[in-house]
Amino acid sequence: MNPEYKDILLTHSDDIIRKWMDDLEDSKLRDYKSTISDEMIEQVNREFVNLIFSILKDGHSQKSIEQFSERIVNLGWPLGYLTEGMQSFRTICIKSLMEHLDEHDKDGFLQIMEDINHWVDPIKNELVDAYSSNWTSIISLQKVALQELSAPLIPVLDGVTIMPLVGTIDTDRAKLIMENLLDGVIKHRADVVLIDITGVPVVDTMVAHHIIQAAEAVRLIGATCILVGIRPEIAQTIVNLGIDLSKFPTKSSLKRGFEKALEITDRQIVSNGEEKKVIDDIIQSIDKE
């Protein structure tokens, strides 16, 4: 940037900051003011403008840009806050230079605008890139977390685990179910796994095929898979489709499936003792589902 322009901007930075913060008050954040305090908005706005002026004064700082963009993403503020903020800052700086240089001709205006653009545009582009990168990372982490929740494997007793499934099962989710089943059986040393499809709205040929594959894979590593939660309409669909589920046990409810798991693992409910209480509590909680 032209040294003269730089000196003017730094000398009058307080005035520029004041005008910019007033202008930013009516930016994209106006829709967020019901959930964001005025103190927070002012604090972040000041961090924003200090970042811009620090780059003018001390040179480029990639780390500072990334940190500020990450802060905006974590706050849940829109990308428009950055783009509108930079556009507003550009306009105010151009006006400030025009006033203090007393430039009114076309060439002077174009030179000022070119110098400001060379300063502001790279900052804006890097802020947008860093914002997008941080946002993508958060979405990826959330997707992983949702995937893990979509196929949880829950140990309920030594050797007995339950995988409750809710919602539609597609190819990607079926793959995750398979991976979680196999990893969980080994991790929890499970002898029996109950796959509960009570919350699966539709069981078609593809869904049944994936479930059979998962059950067969569990059998190959030495455990038994019990399919529970087969509603009458799903049973009728399975019969009409000619799907063979004879290779592993099926039960109508999770409670009945759990009782079968006790039988397979050579357990029984005795008349007294702590183990009976534990098992009774589990069965009662299952019966409430």
Tell me the average pLDDT across 189-217: 84
For the cut 60, the answer to whether the pLDDT of residue 286 exceeds it is: no
User: What would the pLDDT profile of 11-51 be if each residue is shown by its tens digit?
Assistant: 888 888 888 878 776 655 555 555 567 778 788 888 888 88
**Distance (Å, rounded) from C-alpha 192 to C-alpha 155?**
10
Which residue from 261, 241, 239 is spatially nearest to 249, judged by alpha carbons? 261
In which residue are the tokens 């780390």 written? 63
Band the pLDDT of 287: cuts 50, 70, 90.
Answer: low
Domain 3-148, architecture per CATH = Orthogonal Bundle (1.10)
pTM above 0.85, yes or no: no
Return all residues near 33 (Cβ < 8 A) that are at least 6 apart. 41
The residue among 190 and 142 whose pLDDT is bigger is 190
Give the pLDDT confidence score for residue 150 in this predicted structure: 61
Matching fold, domains 3-148 and 151-287:
no
- Distances from the Cα of 212 to the Cαs of 178, 247, 289, in angstroms? 10, 9, 25
User: What would the pLDDT profile of 129-179 be if each residue is shown by its tens digit?
Assistant: 989 988 888 887 767 666 655 667 888 888 899 988 888 877 777 888 888
Give the pLDDT confidence score for residue 239 in this predicted structure: 82
The residue among 284 and 8 whose pLDDT is bigger is 8
Domain definitions of the chain by residue range: 3-148, 151-287
In which residue are the tokens 């002026």 written? 53
- Domain at 151-287: CATH code: 3.30.750.24
Question: Which tokens hold the place of 150?
Answer: 């979509």
**DSSP-H helix ranges across the chain:** 3-11, 13-24, 38-58, 62-75, 79-101, 106-150, 171-188, 205-220, 232-241, 254-264, 274-287
